[in-house]
Amino acid sequence: MNWDVFITCAVTGSGQSHKKSDKVPVTPKEIAQACVEAANAGAAIAHCHVRDPETGTPSRDPALYREVVSRVRDSGTDIILNLTAGMGGDIVLGSPEAPFPVNEEGTDMIGATERLVHVEELLPEICTLDCGTMNFAEADYIMTNTPGILRAMAKHIQAAGVKPEIEVFDTGHLWMAKTLVEEGLIDDPVMIQLCMGIPYGAPNDPNSLMAMINNIPPNWTYSMFTIGRMQLPYVAMAALTGGHVRVGLEDNIWLEKGKLASNGDLVERAGTILSAMNVNILGPQAVREKLKLTRHW
């Protein structure tokens, strides 16, 4: 049991959820406002993607990140920013019978350095490191993070003084994370995010979750989430199994059946669940001390 829990809010993501709910933030102004809303509801960390303001499609434009970060910092809101570094590792094959050439419209494969341009410029306290390659639910899409790319990205993140949040979607990703730590490419204290229930990674059932947790070194800090209707039950699961919490519209757009959520709604509900369990919810400064984060501004 974890009696001192922090909440991360993943405010927008890179999926098609903006077509299903008008509460999903799209523009940099909306994304920054969502971070502030999450902080006011009790989140210590805001995990941010950016989107094309006109279409809502996922983007990795550093100018969009720059505006989000500037707006949040200028607001005076105390929240830890966690910027994704996952964009730019996407391969979409041509078809099952003719996988090459790849689908150029969906494929976005860039180098390790380019994937971290916004991180090295803006120096958030945390950025993500998706620790492996994985088939997602789409027929021909592959999330691509080779060991070589991950080692190169880890070196850049370490040199920038930013804390990596290691994203683990399956057991092999956890093995890779341990390798990066053993090679000195990730510093203590290690921070990990268990990403459960995403086809076709680790299922979100208790046995699969505990298999992951039982292989995490005891001195690592870990958080967890799952997608869809199980997001809020996983709040209790996280505390009960020794971890921390992630909620937000990246992973789930519903507060309850038939009722669309805002990011603030989901954070507030997570806080209610944790408070009912007599769990202490950590604020940003306590999390900075726990994870030894560096503020660069």
pLDDT of 285 reads 98
d(CA 63, CA 102): 28
pLDDT of 151 reads 98
Instruction: Give residue 240's identity as a one-letter amino acid code.
Output: L
pLDDT of 137 reads 82
DSSP strand E in the chain: where? 4-5, 7-10, 45-48, 50-51, 58-59, 80-83, 89-92, 108-109, 126-130, 134-135, 141-143, 163-168, 191-196, 221-226, 244-247, 254-256, 259-260, 280-281
Domain boundaries, the chain: 4-291
Q: Which residues contact 27 (CB under 8 A, 6 or more apart)?
A: 51, 53
Buried b (16+ CB within 10 A) or exposed e, 108-136: eeeebeebbbbbeebbbbbbbbbbbbbeb
pTM, rounded to two decimals: 0.97
d(CA 263, CA 252): 10
Per-residue pLDDT of the chain (297 residues; tens, 9 = 90+): 999 999 999 999 998 899 999 999 999 999 999 999 999 999 999 999 999 999 999 999 999 999 999 999 999 999 999 999 999 999 999 999 999 999 998 899 999 999 999 999 999 999 999 999 999 888 899 999 999 999 999 999 999 999 999 999 999 999 999 999 999 999 999 999 999 999 999 999 999 999 999 999 999 999 999 999 999 999 999 999 999 999 999 999 999 999 999 999 999 999 999 999 999 999 999 999 999 998 888
Nearest-5° Cα angle at 76, 75 to 79? 100
pLDDT of 136 reads 86
- Domain 4-291 fold is TIM Barrel (3.20.20)
Q: Is the four-CA dihedral 40, 265, 12, 139 of positive or negative sign? A: positive
Q: What are the CA-CA distances from residue 162 to residues 49, 86, 159 (Å)?
A: 17, 15, 8
